[in-house]
Structure 1
Amino acid sequence: MQQSGLRERSKARRRDAIEVAGLRLFTEHGYSGTTLADIAEAAEVSPRTVSMYFPTKLDIALGFTNRGCERLTEALEARQSSQTVVGVLDAFLQKEDQSLDKERKQLVADMMAANPSLPALRTPSVERLIAAVRRALAADLGLPEDHFKTRLGVATLFGVLEAHSSAHLDENTTTSTRRIALDFLAAALATIRATP
C-alpha cells in the first residue's frame, strides 16, 4: 500500500516536471519552436515518457486550463436545482482561490502571452464547459439553450472568468475581486432576464 502511494507521488512529480518544462520552453522558444524531445530533455525524462503523460504538445500547453474547465464543468453538472449559476461559480472560485498555485498560473499566463493563438483553441474540455454553462444558464433564465439571451449570458460569464483569472496575477488584488466579478455577472444576468 505504501509502495503504491510512493509510485503515485513519483508519477505526479514527473508529470509536473514535464508540464513546467513545456510551459517554460513554450514561453522562451514559442509553441511551434519547441518539440517533445526539447521538453523531455528539459524535464530530464525520455521523449517516450513525455508522450505517456502528454500525447501532444497541446496537452502540455493547455493542461492547466483544461483541468480548470473540467472542475467547473463538474461543479455545474452537480449543482442542485436551488443553486444558481452565479452561486455555483462563487463556490467554485472560492475553492480555486484557496488552492491557487500562483506560480503555475503566472507561468501559464506568460506562455499564453508568448503564444497568442493558443487561448483561442477550443479543446474538448473547453467545449464541454461551454455546453455545461449554456445548459445551466438556459435553465436559470428559463430560455432555450440556443436563444440569443442565453448565448449573451454565456459570453458574459466567460468574459467575467477571464477578467477574474487575469486579476489574480496582480499581487495587489484581494478577495474583493471575486465579489466584483460575481456582482457584475449577476447584474448582467438580471438585465438579460428583465429585457423583453
Structure 2
Amino acid sequence: MTTDASAGLRERKKAKTRAAIRDAAMRMFVEQGYAATTVEQIAEAAEVSPSTFFRYFPTKEDVVLTDDYDPLVVAAIRAQPPSTPVIEAVLLSMRQVFERLTEDEWASERRRQRLFREVPELQARQLQQTVAAIDLLAEVIAERLGVAAEDDEARSLAGALVGVALTFLKPGNTNGFQVEDFDRITRALISLRGHLEPLTRLSGDPAGQA
C-alpha cells in the first residue's frame, strides 16, 4: 500500500527532475540558441534519458510554454473566502502568486519571456496555450459560481479575464509583472463593464430596460 510519505517523496523527485530538465534547457537556449538546442542535448545536460524528457515535456517547446504558475493561481483562487466576488478573487490570487516570486524565479521568468519574444514558433504555440488557460480558469470560476465548467457565464468571465490580462501581461514582457499591471487590469475590467452594460437592453434583461 502506498503511504502518504512515499507518495510525497515520489512527487518531490518528479518535481526535482522536471526542474533539472527545465534549468538545463533554459541554460542551453541562452548559451547556444533555441533552434540549435536538441532534446538529446537537454536530456544529457539534465542527466536523464530522452524518453524521460518526453515524460515531463511532450515537445521542446513545452519546456518554455509550461510554467508552474497556473496551478498556484488556481489554488489561491480556491483559498479565497467564498464571499469574495469571483473576479476580485482571481485578481487577488494572481497578484499574490506573482508577488511571492523570488529573485531567482523572476530571473527565470525573464529568460522565458525573452524566448517568447525571439522565437516565432513559441509565439504561435502560446496562442494555443491561451485556450487552455481559459478552460482552466473557467473551471475554477464555475466552482465559485456553483455551475458547470462549460457554463456560458463562467467561460465568458474566464475569456474576458484572460483577454484583458494578456493585454498588459503579454508574452515577451521581460520586465516582469508589476503591481501596476494588476491595477491596470482592474481599471480595464471596470471600463469594460461600463461598455457592456448597455447590451442588457438588447438581451431582453429587465434590469437593462428603462
TM, length-normalised to structure 2: 0.63
- Is the deviation greater in 74-83 or in 114-123? 74-83
Question: What displacement does 1:70 show?
Answer: 3.4
The equivalent position to 1:122 in structure 2, one of 129, 132, 150, is 129
- Give the Cα–Cα distance (whole angstroms) in 2 for the partners of residues 76 and 178 of structure 1: 15
1:53-92 equivalent positions in 2, closer than 5 A: 53-64=56-67, 67-76=68-77, 82-92=83-93
**2:99 is equivalent to residue 94 of structure 1:** no
- Aligned AA for 2:117? A
Rg larger for: 2
Where does residue 132 of structure 1 map in the other structure?
Answer: 139
Where does residue 175 of structure 2 map in the other structure?
Answer: 170
**2:110 is equivalent to residue 106 of structure 1:** yes
- Give the Cα–Cα distance (whole angstroms) in 2 for the partners of residues 136 and 99 of structure 1: 25
**2:40 is equivalent to residue 37 of structure 1:** yes
**CA-atom RMSD in angstroms:** 4.1
- Give the Cα–Cα distance (whole angstroms) in 1 for the partners of residues 132 and 74 of structure 2: 8
TM, length-normalised to structure 1: 0.66
Where does residue 54 of structure 2 map in the other structure?
Answer: 51
Q: Which has the higher contact order (CA 8 A, sep 6+)?
A: 1
Q: Cα gap change, 1:48/1:80 in structure 2, threshold over 3 Å: closer, same or farther? A: same
Which stretches in structure 1 are left out of the alignment for 5+ residues?
Answer: none
Paired residues of 2:20 and 2:46 also in contact (CA < 8 A): yes
- Give the Cα–Cα distance (whole angstroms) in 2 for the partners of residues 138 and 10 of structure 1: 36
How many equivalent residue pairs? 184
Question: What displacement does 1:145 show?
Answer: 0.8
Which stretches in structure 2 are left out of the alignment for 5+ residues?
Answer: 201-210
Q: Cα gap change, 1:17/1:163 in structure 2, threshold over 3 Å: closer, same or farther? A: farther
Q: Cα gap change, 1:46/1:29 in structure 2, threshold over 3 Å: closer, same or farther? A: same
